[in-house]
Amino acid sequence: MDGRKSVIGLLGKHIENSLSPFIHQHFIRYYSLNYCYHSFQINEDRLKKALLGAKALGIQGLNITIPFKEKAMEYMDLIDPSAKMIGAINTMARRDKKIYGYNTDWKGFIIPLVRERKIVLSQRKAVILGAGGAARAVIFALEKEGCTVISMINRNQQHALETKKNFEMHFSNCAIKIFSYNQKDIQRELNEADLLINTTPLGSWYVPNQSPLPKEIEFPSQVIVYDLIYYPDKTPLLKQAEIKGNQVINGREMLVYQAAESFYLWTGIQPEQEIIIHILKEMDKKR
């Protein structure tokens, strides 16, 4: 490592299986940049020191992941308006000795639907499982695309209510309804929906072999099932939906597109489709 190398990296608590280093190392090599990407695994009590330390050390940028996306906002000098509306950041970028907070998850989420699959979301209805940071990025993206009804199903109703209130302040053309995990309610909402999105960690490597929905749930044929989880690539929810013949999308494309947006914020280079497709193919080999 030479003295002119720029340092970027990942800050999180459960990052052992994160694919972010893999993605960014591909971008760095593809564009022959003098950058290195490090993983920084910390506990909650180190967050403030880690971010202020990163600022003092001149670290160029960080991806910020679970469970720090909300708390990290407190230590930024400035926050991008979209991230402020979402209430979470997943990217820190250094500019003129200041650290800025951004959210690139919402773009990462929407590109695989709208740009890659040409799905029109205007006047559509979505069902979202979960009400956390990822759910807020998803709601922001869906509302921007003109979705008119979002049914949010969450374990903690208070958490769901806070998320709903946050968005009602900003968008008035989309109704957000809240439900608990009641099979009847879920089935009714799903019957009228175009999109089902899982933003809970159920089925991921750290809550393995679980589906957020009971196996009795029917998936109406028009519903596209999008699971934000990227490891494993086929969660129990996606397997349930695929058996019924529904179109499914996992979280891998979202992960690569949100990473591409972060990379752009750090380097000014918007990764081309060629390297994005190459990374997605390489990820498939890692199943």
Chain residues binding ligand NAP by CB under 6 A are 66, 69, 105, 108, 130-135, 154-156, 159, 199-202, 204, 228-230, 251, 254-255, 258
**Least gap, CB of 131 to ligand NAP (angstroms):** 4
CB nearer to ligand NAP: give 50 or 160: 160
Using Cβ positions, the residue closest to ligand NAP within the complex turns out to be 132
**Least gap, CB of 181 to ligand NAP (angstroms):** 7
**Least gap, CB of 130 to ligand NAP (angstroms):** 4
CB nearer to ligand NAP: give 75 or 106: 106
> Among this protein's residues, is 244 annotated catalytic?
no
CB nearer to ligand NAP: give 212 or 223: 212
CB nearer to ligand NAP: give 138 or 223: 138
What interhelical angle do 252-267 and 20-30 show, nearest 10? Answer: 50
**Least gap, CB of 284 to ligand NAP (angstroms):** 15
CB nearer to ligand NAP: give 60 or 211: 211
- Which residue in the list 5, 13, 55, 69 is annotated as catalytic? 69
**Least gap, CB of 213 to ligand NAP (angstroms):** 10
DSSP letters, the chain, are: --TT-EEEEEEESS-TT-SHHHHHHHHHHHTT-SEEEEEEE--GGGHHHHHHHHHHHT--EEEE-TT-TTGGGGG-SEE-HHHHHHT--SEEEEETTEEEEE--HHHHHHIIIIISS----TT-EEEEE--SHHHHHHHHHHHHTT--EEEEE-S-HHHHHHHHHHHHTT-SSSEEEEE-S-HHHHHHHHHT-SEEEE-S-TTSTTSTT--SS-TT----TT-EEEE---SSSS-HHHHHHHHTT--EE-SHHHHHHHHHHHHHHHHS----HHHHHHHHHHHHHT-
- The set of catalytic residues is 69
